[in-house]
């Protein structure tokens, strides 16, 4: 029970912590029992409160929870159960867990609430892509931790956790008095945007939809592949953007019978036969990238930006080391602005594709609309071009702006099981952009509207043809993507490398980073910045990394901010953002002159 870098083992919380506590309490010697309990309480507290170095197990400052060298809900969700129960059993005793330890556990649990709907997206599922891990797996933990009190205010009940418990378990407000001794309303589903660069992903939520935007980089592995698990999981984090309605994922067609493993929604991939897609490593492959930059950012907790700077590994069989791509997504309310550029590789035998969507044809995902016509026949095949639109079975509309041919299918698909590799089959709706074989500097641009209708998509098409775009792409090349949303005036800068900018208010960004700006008025604006580089190695603690940003005009900070230094000189202002563990730093600025 000495705290060190291996003390925050998630499997310990899940499988042994409660049993360990029981063994100590069974000690017949009261003096030894108290001494052991004191040591156990201190050990358990520190194991929850610490940020472990490198890739070791434990809770991270952005809310991710690491096992197997990365954020892993398949291990963390069961761990939350054990940890919350132990914290509850120790409360109001001399061995109680401190506010810091409880705050860390709460942060991880509330993050999991954000990235579950009520189950997680495919990109976060580790080696079990269609095992629906979700908040219901640790629902009672919200109650136990709520009853230990609020670690920030000192209140004897954490009302945020308690209200979340009511929602997750489907309990009404009338039941809260009996459970918590207070009248509370169930927590509404979260809305907004969250950044979890400890897992190289962002979460955007609108109404009851959850969008998981997933990448990988040098710190975050792409997928976990075992000798008998997830054999075709190469593209799990390939800049994937999955829109998941609330509810049972199988009812919405996210099931593996017939699933095309090459076509994860939003991902850009080389479409390979399954024997070529199968991992070349017979046992474990947890591939990290050579690039440090890929992940997510946000502004005001509401607007999101996502980037994937891809370079395939050149040291593995069946991988094309020449495969590169630049991908970005801006997420604003119900709009996802999808950009791709510099998509290139030398694979001349198989096509490169960007998938718009793929889902099984099920009771809640049967509809398909193409340019205003409802499609019910199966099989169905169509090829679209710029200016065309479609709506998938989840009421998400896709308007094609730029790209190669867009293929739409309602079809019977055959595939293989990710574990047994036995044949599977099912009926699916799917759409993808075909970039062709061995593409050179290919790209795409399309707009997604969630919770839309054929009438709304038809109006959008008319507006687009009349030049009334809801957004503008100000730049799209190998060095940067810059997008401006016209409704909110939010501008997102994805700097794939540091350099100068002519677009918007930003003049320069010193390194690979994401910068977001929003004018509040003529004299006020908010700005955030982050680099997805976690600044760590396998054994070291994360480092704080500075991002220097120059903007036009003379500005000052509206209030003191220890994460952002602001200095104006003449008609420009220099800002230095301190980026720690991929958590965006943000400041409100006031114009000086």
Task: Report residue 246 CA to chain centroid gap.
Answer: 16
* Dihedral angle of Cα 419, 420, 423, 425, to the nearest 10 degrees: -40
List 12, 13, 56, 68, catalytic entry = 68
- Taking Cα atoms as reference points, which of 194, 166, 198 lies closest to residue 180? 166
List Cα–Cα distances, 137 to 71, 88, 306, 410, 474, in angstroms. 16, 18, 28, 34, 44
Going by DSSP bridges, is the β-strand pair 442-449/397-402 parallel, antiparallel, or unpaired?
antiparallel
Q: Which residues pair with 448 in a beta bridge?
A: 336, 398
Distance separating alpha carbons of residues 207 and 548, to the nearest angstrom: 36
Does the active-site annotation cover 193? no
Token pair, residue 232, equals: 């075709």
Distance separating alpha carbons of residues 223 and 488, to the nearest angstrom: 35
For the chain, the residue count is 593
Token pair, residue 471, equals: 């957004």
8 A C-beta contact, residue 351 and residue 342: no
8 A C-beta contact, residue 490 and residue 484: yes
- Taking Cα atoms as reference points, which of 47, 168, 149 lies closest to residue 99? 149
- The total of other beta-carbon atoms located within 10 Å of residue 183's CB is 9
- Taking Cα atoms as reference points, which of 329, 124, 109 lies closest to residue 216? 124
List Cα–Cα distances, 267 to 195, 261, 329, 402, 515, in angstroms. 19, 11, 12, 17, 23
8 A C-beta contact, residue 519 and residue 525: yes
Token pair, residue 391, equals: 């709506």
8 A C-beta contact, residue 209 and residue 244: yes
Distance separating alpha carbons of residues 296 and 314, to the nearest angstrom: 26
- Taking Cα atoms as reference points, which of 333, 353, 368, 564 lies closest to residue 457? 368
Q: Which residues pair with 409 in a beta bridge?
A: 381, 430
Does the active-site annotation cover 68? yes
For CA atoms 58, 64, 67, 69, give the dihedral sign: negative
Distance separating alpha carbons of residues 13 and 84, to the nearest angstrom: 9
Distance separating alpha carbons of residues 210 and 47, to the nearest angstrom: 31
- Taking Cα atoms as reference points, which of 158, 109, 163 lies closest to residue 137? 109
Distance separating alpha carbons of residues 516 and 273, to the nearest angstrom: 40
Catalytic positions, please? 68, 75
């Amino acid at each position: 029970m000495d705290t060190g870098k291996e003390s925050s083992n998630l499997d310990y919380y899940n499988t042994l912590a409660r049993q360990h506590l029981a063994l100590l309490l069974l000690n017949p010697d009261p003096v030894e029992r108290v001494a052991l309990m004191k040591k156990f309480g201190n050990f358990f507290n520190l194991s929850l409160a610490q940020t472990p170095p490198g890739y070791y197990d434990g809770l991270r400052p952005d809310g991710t929870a690491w096992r197997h060298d990365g954020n892993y809900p398949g291990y963390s969700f069961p761990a939350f159960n054990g940890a919350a129960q132990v914290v509850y059993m120790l409360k109001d005793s001399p061995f109680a867990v401190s506010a810091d330890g409880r705050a860390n556990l709460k942060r991880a649990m509330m993050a999991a609430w954000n990235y579950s709907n009520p189950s997680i997206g495919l990109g976060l599922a580790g080696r079990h892509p269609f095992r629906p891990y979700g908040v219901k797996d640790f629902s009672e933990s919200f109650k136990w931790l709520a009853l230990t009190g609020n670690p920030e205010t000192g209140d004897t009940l954490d009302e945020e956790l308690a209200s979340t418990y009511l929602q997750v378990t489907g309990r009404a407000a009338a039941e809260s008095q009996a459970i918590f001794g207070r009248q509370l309303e169930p927590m509404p589903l979260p809305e907004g945007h969250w950044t979890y660069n400890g897992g190289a992903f962002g979460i955007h939520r609108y109404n009851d939809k959850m969008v998981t935007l997933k990448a990988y980089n040098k710190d975050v592995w792409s997928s976990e592949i075992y000798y008998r698990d997830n054999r075709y999981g190469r593209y799990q984090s390939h800049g994937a953007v999955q829109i998941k309605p609330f509810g049972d994922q199988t009812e919405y067609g996210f099931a593996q019978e017939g699933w095309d493993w090459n076509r994860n929604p939003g991902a850009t991939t080389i479409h390979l036969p399954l024997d070529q897609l199968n991992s070349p490593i017979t046992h474990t492959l947890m591939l990290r990238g050579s690039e440090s930059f890929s992940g997510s950012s946000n502004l005001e907790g509401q607007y999101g930006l996502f980037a994937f700077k891809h370079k395939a590994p050149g040291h593995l069989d069946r991988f094309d080391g020449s495969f590169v791509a630049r991908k970005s997504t801006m997420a604003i309310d119900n709009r996802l602005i999808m950009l791709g550029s510099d998509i290139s590789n030398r694979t001349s035998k198989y096509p490169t594709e960007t998938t718009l969507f793929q889902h099984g044809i099920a009771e809640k995902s049967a509809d398909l609309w193409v340019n205003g016509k409802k499609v019910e026949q199966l099989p169905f095949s169509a090829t679209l071009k710029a200016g065309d639109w479609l709506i998938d079975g989840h009421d998400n509309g896709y308007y094609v702006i730029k790209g190669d041919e867009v293929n739409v299918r309602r079809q019977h698909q055959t595939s293989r099981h990710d574990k047994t590799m036995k044949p599977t089959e099912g009926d699916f709706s799917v759409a993808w952009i075909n970039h062709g074989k061995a593409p050179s500097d290919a790209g795409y641009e399309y707009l997604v509207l969630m919770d839309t209708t054929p009438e709304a998509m038809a109006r959008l098409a008319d507006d687009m043809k009349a030049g009334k775009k809801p957004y503008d792409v100000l730049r799209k090349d190998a060095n940067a993507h810059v997008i401006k949303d016209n409704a909110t005036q939010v501008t997102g800068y994805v700097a794939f490398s540091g350099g100068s900018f002519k677009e918007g208010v930003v003049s320069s960004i010193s390194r690979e980073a994401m910068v977001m700006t929003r004018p509040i008025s003529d004299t006020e604006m908010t700005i955030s910045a982050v680099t997805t580089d976690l600044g760590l190695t396998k054994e070291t603690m994360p480092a704080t990394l500075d991002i220097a940003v120059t903007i036009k005009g003379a500005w000052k900070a509206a209030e003191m901010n220890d994460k952002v230094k602001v200095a104006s000189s003449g008609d420009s202002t220099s800002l230095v953002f301190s980026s720690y563990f991929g958590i965006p730093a943000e400041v409100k600025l006031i114009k000086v002159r």
